[in-house]
Amino acid sequence: MKRPILLMISSITLLLSACQSSQPVLGANGAEQLNNIRHLCILSNPKNPNPGLNRQIAQSLTKYGISSETVDAASNRKRLYEPECRYNLRYNTRGIGNNMHYLSLLIRTPEHPVASLRANPNFRNPQNQQAEIDRIIGTLLNKK
C-alpha cells in the first residue's frame, strides 16, 4: 500500500517541478521591466560548483541585447545600488557540470523582484550546455 502512494507522490512532484520551469514568475510590471533591461549585474557566487556558469549566462544575455558584468557582492556590495546595476541577476544551482539538477534564477532591482525561474537543465553533453542556458535565459526574460 505504501509503495503505490509513494510512487504517486513522486510522480506528482515531478510533474509540478516540470511545470515550474516552463514559465517565469513575474513581479509587478515584470513583463514591461524585462523589455527595458539593457544591462544586468550578475552576482558572483563564491560557493559556485559551476565556475563557467557566469560566462555562459553573460553570453546568453548578449544574444538578447543585454550587456552584463559580474559583481562580487562580498567585496563590492555598494555596486549593486548604483544606477548602472539597476537590475541584478542572482542564481543558485544544485549539481555540478553535466549533472546540474536545477538552476534557480532571480532578476531584481534593489526595491523589488522582477522575474524568477527555476529550471531543470538538460545537459546531454558538454556541447549543448550553452544552448540549454540560452533556452533557460530566454524563458526567464519571457522571450519564449
Residues facing 92 on adjacent strands: 104
- Count CB atoms within 10 A of the CB of residue 41: 21
In order of their start, the domains of the chain are 27-140 (3.40.50)
Residue 128 CA to residue 118 CA, distance in Å, equals 19
pLDDT tens digits, 37-65:
999 999 977 777 777 888 999 999 999 99
pLDDT tens digits, 68-120:
999 988 888 888 888 889 999 999 888 776 677 888 999 999 899 999 999 98
Q: Is the pLDDT score of 124 beyond 60?
A: yes
pLDDT at 26: 92
pLDDT tens digits, 7-42:
344 334 433 444 444 688 999 888 899 999 999 999
Residues facing 71 on adjacent strands: 43
